[in-house]
Every structure is written in C-alpha cells, then in structure tokens.
C-alpha cells in the first residue's frame, strides 16, 4: 500500500511538471515573431513624426506600449512567424489590441489601440533599434 501511494504521488508530480512545461512552451512559442527582435535602445516614430525612445529589455513590451510596465493578460489572436496580433487587458488600467510586424531584428511596425485610464487611443509606430541602452 505504501509503495502504491508513493507511485501515485510520483505520477501526479510528473503530470504537474509536464502540464506546467507545456504551458511555458506554448507561451514562449505563442509569439515566435518577437523572438528575433533585438534588445537595446529603440526609437519609435508615430504617424505624426513624433519620436519616442525606449530601452527595450523584453521585446514583448512592444505589445502594450500605452500600458508600459503594467501586468496584463494577453490573448494571441494571430501569429504567423513575422507578425502577431494580441488582445490584452490590464486590471484597473484598461485594455488594448496590438498588431506587430517584424521586418528585421532591428525594425518593426506596430499598430495599437484601446483604452488607457478611461481614455481611448489609436496609434501606429515605426520602431527601429538605434543601439545599446544608455
């Protein structure tokens, strides 16, 4: 009886580990289009020519520019290797929908819209890596 309990506990542990790693793999591959985007100093130019610089430590941050740094839940709507569309929701801050097209490791196009702190936004950016973070 003792051996059977140990075996069941071990089997349950293996299932938890397998399920957990499967989720991690799914999340990592969900936005494979961002995998080649290099970290560093990026310049974002909006449709009116205004320029904004950011230090990009994690390429997925490009998905929620107006909710920068907020903890948000993401749902992948489309992902084809060079482009992706996600919908996200940030508790108490708003929500958005972002489409991103990776042209090269140093160049992406971002189209984002949604609600931030009760106000609507709709923006397009051409983003280019300009060097290392300063």
Give pLDDT tens digits for 113-126: 999 989 999 999 99
Which H or E element spans position 6? helix 2-30
Say yes or no to pLDDT of 7 above 50.
Answer: no
CB 37 within 8 A of CB 102: yes
pLDDT at 32: 76
Average pLDDT over residues 61-86: 88
pLDDT at 125: 96
Nearest Cα residue to 98 out of 120, 66, 127: 66
pLDDT at 15: 30
Look at residue 105 and give its three-state secondary structure. coil
Handedness of CA 24, 25, 30, 34 (dihedral sign): positive
pLDDT tens readout for residues 38-49: 999 999 999 999
How far apart are the two ends of the chain, measured CA to CA in Å? Answer: 63
pLDDT tens readout for residues 11-39: 333 333 333 333 333 334 447 778 889 99
Per DSSP, the chain holds a count of helices (H) and strands (E) of 1, 7
Residues above pLDDT 70, as percent of the chain: 78
> How far is it, in rounded angstroms, from Cα 89 to Cα 2?
47
Average pLDDT over residues 88-95: 91
Average pLDDT over residues 47-53: 94
pLDDT at 70: 80
pLDDT at 20: 33
């Amino acid at each position: 009886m003792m051996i059977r309990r140990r075996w069941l506990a071990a089997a349950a542990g293996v299932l938890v580990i397998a399920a957990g790693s499967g989720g991690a793999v799914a999340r990592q591959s969900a936005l494979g289009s961002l995998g080649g985007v290099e970290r560093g100093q990026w310049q974002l130019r909006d449709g009116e020519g205004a320029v904004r610089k950011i230090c990009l430590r994690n390429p997925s941050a490009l998905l929620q520019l107006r909710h920068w740094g907020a903890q948000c839940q993401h749902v992948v709507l489309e992902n084809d290797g060079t482009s992706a569309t996600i919908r996200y929701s940030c508790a108490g801050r708003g929500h958005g929908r972002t489409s991103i097209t990776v042209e090269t490791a140093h160049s992406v196009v971002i189209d984002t819209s949604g609600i931030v702190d009760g106000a609507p936004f709709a923006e397009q950016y051409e983003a280019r890596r300009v060097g290392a973070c300063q």
